[in-house]
Homo-oligomer: A and B are copies of this chain.
């Protein structure tokens, strides 16, 4: 089980980081929408523009909770998705002890990773290219996250993907999602580890 940010274990703080144009914000939007509209949870996504927004690093902060969220700022994420080296360097130090980190295999080299962090990497760019469109890399990542965390029901995520992507690209994005999801399931089996979020 992953640690959650408060002791009631009902709130999961997620940070998604990458560079502009990778669909970081859309990923957070899909996750929040899946949790709150198609699953039975509450969610917020916030973009607080601080010094970290200088440069090309880009991040979305998502909170998924069983209760209504009164404080939408992230204090210490327990789950992080990282799609660029700059985002890795900037954001990973914030990850909670024992937190779960998901990185894109080609884009991020996990230098000096803390021992307490549980880490998965996925060749999402390669999968996206195999599907003919590199742009869907973020959706592959979301499929993977769904499989390895169980944070939001897979069917809720599928619905949120379908309704949130540009019209005409639904099928491609759903394929990208499935690719990441299946890879996540296979990795979960290999490691024989039950990774679940407390929401």
Give the interface of A toward B (CB within 8 A): 20-21, 25-26, 28-29, 32-33, 35-37, 42-50, 53-54, 56, 58, 72-73, 135, 163-167, 169
Contact = CB atoms under 8 A, between A and B. Distances in A.
A37 to B, nearest CB: 5
A42 B50 CA distance: 8
A53 B37 contact: yes
B20 A47 contact: no
Nearest to A51: B37
A72 B49 contact: no
A167 to B, nearest CB: 5
B43 A29 contact: no
3 closest pairs, A vs B, by CB?
Answer: A21-B166, A36-B49, A45-B47
Nearest to A61: B46
B44 A46 contact: yes
A26 B24 CA distance: 10
B44 A49 contact: yes
B164 A21 contact: yes
Given A20-B166, A36-B50, A46-B47, 5 more contacts: A21-B164, A25-B26, A37-B53, A44-B49, A46-B72
B21 A49 contact: no
